[in-house]
């Protein structure tokens, strides 16, 4: 039986999943809690449609928010045998906007000069923004909030009336900033999204060509789409004169990207539009029942969710000596679990990168191998591919879980026309090289020299260029891991406890989870003041809690310490009371 048939058969066992899988509506929205099989359903539905209902040259676009989530979706679809090719797009919304909307249509619609779109690097954006602020504000004024305010308004595609609310000086800086980018033939992601929305909303030929090519659109994590991206989906999938179907999945209780302008209500708005078939899933297949029961206490509305696996352990432990003490509790927990659970199936989550690296130092000092996600360099398509190539080269197909054909397809997708046949042959030769002296850094250099660097810098991908440089630096510093196997293990995380922020754990699952630092001021963050910000902190914690399949430990001290050593005795996180893990405080 094929992997796709097997996956479809498991969906058959759940009446609601099956209803969504077989929905014949042109627009289907699946609202579902963590672990209820949203991504599984979306991958199976897309793979099945590609095999049975979509005939080339028509294709499909499968869109999600972040690079790791896109990588996971691509992996799941490939495992189901979904065909890959020029008419199937699987990637992030920003990659869709750049490669499928702006690059092919902006010049034809008269909205660009026809030059290649170059995305400004973080450094370029920062420097231009500083210049523009200096041109509008006097030196004496506190301008720290200006860039984030402008970013928020640009992400929400603010109307004239909304810009007026922001004030004339903010608007002037925003206009100057966009003008400077244009003069230097640069753009940024917010500019790209705004341009794509204009192209799709104002030009019928763009809508028609796009929907002829991508006759089905699949969106994972819909609740996290920023408003501009929601407008793109509306323009393509809610125009009855076009033949474009939508299959969207999401969970408003997992909306954690408020700073991008996304709102949890977007998914509710989608489901209340006419002609949308709404399916609500209620079984959490991931977490054992005790974890489901405790996690649901964090929500304001009872969703009547059930777990599908009995048992489970949820504990909160007081570490009275402070954060270092919490790390000791974590070490004890990892040691307790280690005989039964592979280390890579254990996650340690902290609210900030700083807490995560402190935890990694503590675990490593105790002799426990640990990997901090995104600590040294960003997970971009280029760095993730280099890690996967190293895994295949060192561990082989069986142990690495990587297939050469898929790696080459990913290589071609990344390099475009630069990945000609001789280039691919050189890559395979590099992967087959058995030189025992090869280090991680020499492998990285070899792969980058195979036109990877050139493709990234000429292809307008400054994030990948910066991330590749940081990847090299990670393996070339004086105390850096030098072995190629260290790089190879990075993609699977094999043999290492996985440490990451509560934001970065989204979409992942582990047998056991430890959440560190559940103290007021950290969870929720002291920076969250408004009710909207506090609600997002609660959702972030809910996402973290629901990553655990079997056991969950949450540590707290009842106080936090700021960088100057001052203690704040604000008590444990209120979420621990909410989950009924510690008694309610006296009011």
Ligand X SMILES: Nc1ncnc2c1ncn2[C@@H]1O[C@H](COP(=O)(O)OP(=O)(O)OP(=O)(O)O)[C@@H](O)[C@H]1O
Annotated binding site: 32-39
Contacts of 405 (CB under 8 A, 6+ apart): none
- Cα 237 to Cα 219: distance, rounded to the nearest angstrom: 12
Q: Report how far Cα 178 is from the mean position of its chain's Cα atoms.
A: 27
Minimum Å gap between C-beta 41 and ligand X is 7
Nearer to ligand X, 62 or 419 (CB): 62
The reply to whether 345 sits near ligand X by the rule CB under 6 A is: no
The reply to whether 178 sits near ligand X by the rule CB under 6 A is: no
* Segment contacting ligand X by CB under 6 A, of 5-13, 198-206, 238-246, 298-306: 5-13
* Segment contacting ligand X by CB under 6 A, of 9-17, 121-129, 312-320, 517-525: 9-17
Q: Answer whether 560's CB lies under 8 Å from 567's CB.
A: yes
Minimum Å gap between C-beta 535 and ligand X is 18
Minimum Å gap between C-beta 513 and ligand X is 12
The reply to whether 299 sits near ligand X by the rule CB under 6 A is: no
Number of residues binding to ligand X, judged by CB under 6 A: 19
The reply to whether 560 sits near ligand X by the rule CB under 6 A is: no
* Segment contacting ligand X by CB under 6 A, of 13-21, 98-106, 344-352, 440-448: 13-21
Out of 16, 27, 38, 490, name the contact with ligand X by CB under 6 A.
38
Nearer to ligand X, 78 or 251 (CB): 251
Residue 302: both structure tokens together: 């009872």
Q: Which of residues 523-552 bind ligand X (CB under 6 A)?
A: 546
Nearer to ligand X, 44 or 471 (CB): 44
For residue 90, give the nearest of 420, 409, 326, 467 by alpha carbon. 409
Nearer to ligand X, 286 or 373 (CB): 286
Nearer to ligand X, 248 or 389 (CB): 248
Out of 36, 271, 402, 555, name the contact with ligand X by CB under 6 A.
36
Nearer to ligand X, 286 or 329 (CB): 286
In the three-class reduction of DSSP (H, G, I as helix; E, B as strand; rest coil), residue 184 is classed as: coil
Nearer to ligand X, 254 or 271 (CB): 254
The reply to whether 253 sits near ligand X by the rule CB under 6 A is: no
The reply to whether 45 sits near ligand X by the rule CB under 6 A is: no
For residue 70, give the nearest of 212, 195, 278, 218 by alpha carbon. 218
The reply to whether 223 sits near ligand X by the rule CB under 6 A is: no
Which residues sit opposite 185 in a β-bridge? Answer: none
Nearer to ligand X, 318 or 508 (CB): 508
Nearer to ligand X, 220 or 230 (CB): 220
Q: Answer whether 528's CB lies under 8 Å from 289's CB.
A: no
* Segment contacting ligand X by CB under 6 A, of 11-19, 102-110, 346-354, 497-505: 11-19
Which residues sit opposite 277 in a β-bridge? Answer: 28
Minimum Å gap between C-beta 249 and ligand X is 7
Residue 377 DSSP label: S
Q: ∠263-265-270 over CA atoms, to 5°?
A: 115
Contacts of 242 (CB under 8 A, 6+ apart): 207, 208, 211, 236
Q: Which of residues 491-520 bind ligand X (CB under 6 A)?
A: 507
The reply to whether 251 sits near ligand X by the rule CB under 6 A is: yes
Q: What is the dihedral of CA 490, 360, 362, 347, to 10 degrees?
A: -90
DSSP letters spanning 19-81: HHHT--SSEEEEE--TTSSHHHHHHHHHHHHHHHT--TT-EEEEEESSHHHHHHHHHHHHHTT
Work out the end-to-end distance of the chain between its first and last CA atoms, rounded to an integer number of angstroms. 60
Contacts of 436 (CB under 8 A, 6+ apart): none
Out of 4, 17, 216, 262, name the contact with ligand X by CB under 6 A.
17
Contacts of 107 (CB under 8 A, 6+ apart): 113, 114
Task: Give the number of C-alpha atoms closer than 13 A to the C-alpha of residue 164, restricted to the C-beta side.
Answer: 3
For residue 471, give the nearest of 379, 369, 364, 344 by alpha carbon. 379
Out of 32, 199, 523, 554, name the contact with ligand X by CB under 6 A.
32
- For 425, phi then psi, to 5°, come to -65, -40
Nearer to ligand X, 254 or 400 (CB): 254
Is the peptide bond preceding residue 524 cis, with omega within 30 degrees of 0?
yes
The reply to whether 39 sits near ligand X by the rule CB under 6 A is: yes
Q: Which of residues 376-395 bind ligand X (CB under 6 A)?
A: none
Out of 8, 35, 193, 256, name the contact with ligand X by CB under 6 A.
35
Q: Report how far Cα 175 is from the mean position of its chain's Cα atoms.
A: 30
In the three-class reduction of DSSP (H, G, I as helix; E, B as strand; rest coil), residue 364 is classed as: helix
DSSP letters spanning 343-363: GGGEEEEESSHHHHHHHHHHH
The site string for ligand X over 258-297 (x = CB under 6 A, - otherwise) reads ---------------------------xx-----------
Nearer to ligand X, 92 or 326 (CB): 92
Rounded to whole angstroms, the maximal C-alpha distance in the chain is 72
Q: Answer whether 250's CB lies under 8 Å from 261's CB.
A: no
Annotated binding site for ATP: 32-39
Out of 21, 28, 34, 542, name the contact with ligand X by CB under 6 A.
34
Minimum Å gap between C-beta 384 and ligand X is 18
Q: Answer whether 256's CB lies under 8 Å from 536's CB.
A: yes
The site string for ligand X over 59-98 (x = CB under 6 A, - otherwise) reads ----------------------------------------
- Cα 527 to Cα 525: distance, rounded to the nearest angstrom: 5
Minimum Å gap between C-beta 43 and ligand X is 8
Which parts of this chain interact with ligand X (CB under 6 A)? 10-11, 13-14, 17, 32, 34-40, 251, 254, 285-286, 507, 546
């Amino acid at each position: 039986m094929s992997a796709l048939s097997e996956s479809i058969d498991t969906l058959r066992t759940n009446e609601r999943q099956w209803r969504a899988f077989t929905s014949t509506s042109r627009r289907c929205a699946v609202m579902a809690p963590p672990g209820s099989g949203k991504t599984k359903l979306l991958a199976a539905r897309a793979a099945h449609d590609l095999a049975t209902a979509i005939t080339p040259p028509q294709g499909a676009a499968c869109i999600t928010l972040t690079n790791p989530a896109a990588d996971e979706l691509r992996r799941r679809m490939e495992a189901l045998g979904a065909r890959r090719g020029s008419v199937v797009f699987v990637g992030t919304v920003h990659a869709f906007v750049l490669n499928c909307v702006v690059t092919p249509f902006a010049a034809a619609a008269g909205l660009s000069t026809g030059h290649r779109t170059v995305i400004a690097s973080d450094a370029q954006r920062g420097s231009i923004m500083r210049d523009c602020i200096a041109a509008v504000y006097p030196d004496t004024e506190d301008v720290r909030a200006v860039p984030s305010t402008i970013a928020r308004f640009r992400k929400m595609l603010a109307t004239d009336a909304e810009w007026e609310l922001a004030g004339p000086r903010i608007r002037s800086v925003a206009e100057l900033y966009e003008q400077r980018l244009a003069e230097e033939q640069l753009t940024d992601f917010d500019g790209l999204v705004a341009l794509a929305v204009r192209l799709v909303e104002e030009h019928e030929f763009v809508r028609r060509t796009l929907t002829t090519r991508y006759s089905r659109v699949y969106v994972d994590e819909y609740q996290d789409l920023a408003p501009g991206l929601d407008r793109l989906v509306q323009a393509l999938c809610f125009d009855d004169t076009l033949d474009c179907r939508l299959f969207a999945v999401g969970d408003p209780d997992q909306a954690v990207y408020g700073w991008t302008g996304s709102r949890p209500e977007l998914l509710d708005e989608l489901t209340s539009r006419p002609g949308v078939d709404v399916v609500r899933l209620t079984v959490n297949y991931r977490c054992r029942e005790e974890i489901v029961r405790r996690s649901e206490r964090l929500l304001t509305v009872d969703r009547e969710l059930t777990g599908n696996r009995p048992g489970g352990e949820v504990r909160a432990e007081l570490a009275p000596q402070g954060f270092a003490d919490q790390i000791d509790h974590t070490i004890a927990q990892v040691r307790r679990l280690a005989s039964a659970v592979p280390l890579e199936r254990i996650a340690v989550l902290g609210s900030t990168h700083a807490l995560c690296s402190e935890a990694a130092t503590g675990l490593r000092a105790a002799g426990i191998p640990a990997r901090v996600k995104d600590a040294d360099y960003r997970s971009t398509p280029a760095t993730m591919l280099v890690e996967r190539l190293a895994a295949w080269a060192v561990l082989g197909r069986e142990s690495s879980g990587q297939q050469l054909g898929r790696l080459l397809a990913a290589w071609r997708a990344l390099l475009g026309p630069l990945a000609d046949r001789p280039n691919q042959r050189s890559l395979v030769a590099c992967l087959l090289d058995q030189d025992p002296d090869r280090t991680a850094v020499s492998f990285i250099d070899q792969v980058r020299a195979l036109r990877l660097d050139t493709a990234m810098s000429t292809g307008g991908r400054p994030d990948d260029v910066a991330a590749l440089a940081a990847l090299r630096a990670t393996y070339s510093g004086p105390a850096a891991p030098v072995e190629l196997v260290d790089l190879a293990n990075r993609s699977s995380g094999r043999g290492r406890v996985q440490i990451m922020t509560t934001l970065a754990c989204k979409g992942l699952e582990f047998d056991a989870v430890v959440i560190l630092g559940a103290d007021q001021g950290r969870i929720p963050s002291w920076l969250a003041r408004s009710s909207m910000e506090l609600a997002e902190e609660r959702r972030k914690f809910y996402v973290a809690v629901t990553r655990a399949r079997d056991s969950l430990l949450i540590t707290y001290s009842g106080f936090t310490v700021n960088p100057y050593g001052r203690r704040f005795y604000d008590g444990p996180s209120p979420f621990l009371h909410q989950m009924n893990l510690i008694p309610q405080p006296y009011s």
